[in-house]
Amino acid sequence: MFEVLVYLYENYWRPDACPEAKQLKRKLSAVGFEPEEIQDALRWLDGLANSVESVTGSAVQGSMRIYTDAEREVLDLDSLGFITFLESAGVLPAPMREMVIDRAVAVGSGTMDLEDLKIIVLMVFWSLGEEPDALILDELFVDPGDRLIH
């Protein structure tokens, strides 16, 4: 699924630049993605679109985010530290943080690799039509040997 998301990030400026779902499925299939990973990615993106619509508000100064047991099962210490780093750098406001956490939990496959979490962060920015600061963007790029992002 993450390979499909990386492909969409690299090839479409924003979600509204993507073709309709039926045509997108054909394009992704023609590129060589398996039907199951295409379906998983599109289902995940639907959840992301719903998350964009439902997450609002801003952080209350001095507030602290307490992670649920389910969230801590998905996000290990490295992932939680990375989210905290992005928040403290001022590039991941509370509503976006909640989108990242929601989409990480939605993957539902046990503890998430930090590289996969970075892709989720990129996709949250992508879904909002935003690009993170250049220095943070460098931090989000994963190893070229592991993913297609370059």
Residue 147 lies in a domain: no
- At residue 149 the predicted structure's pLDDT band, cuts being 50, 70 and 90, is very low
Residue 35 lies in a domain: yes
Residue 83 lies in a domain: yes
Which pLDDT tens digit goes with each residue over 38-72?
Answer: 999 999 999 998 887 776 555 556 678 899 999 99
Residue 10 lies in a domain: yes
Q: Which candidate, 8, 42, 37, places its Cα nearest to that of 22? A: 42
Number of domains in the chain: 1
Q: In 55-113, which residue ranges form alpha helices assigned H by DSSP?
A: 69-74, 77-88, 94-107
Residue 148 lies in a domain: no
Residue 38 CA: distances (Å) to CA of 9, 90, 93? 14, 33, 30
Residue numbers of the domain that contains 105: 2-56+66-140
Q: Which two tokens stand for residue 92?
A: 């991941």
Residue 29 lies in a domain: yes
Whether residue 132 is predicted with pLDDT greater than 80 in this model: the reply is no
Which pLDDT tens digit goes with each residue over 86-130?
Answer: 998 888 899 999 999 999 999 987 899 999 999 999 999 999 988
Residue 145 lies in a domain: no
Terminal CA-CA length for the chain = 18
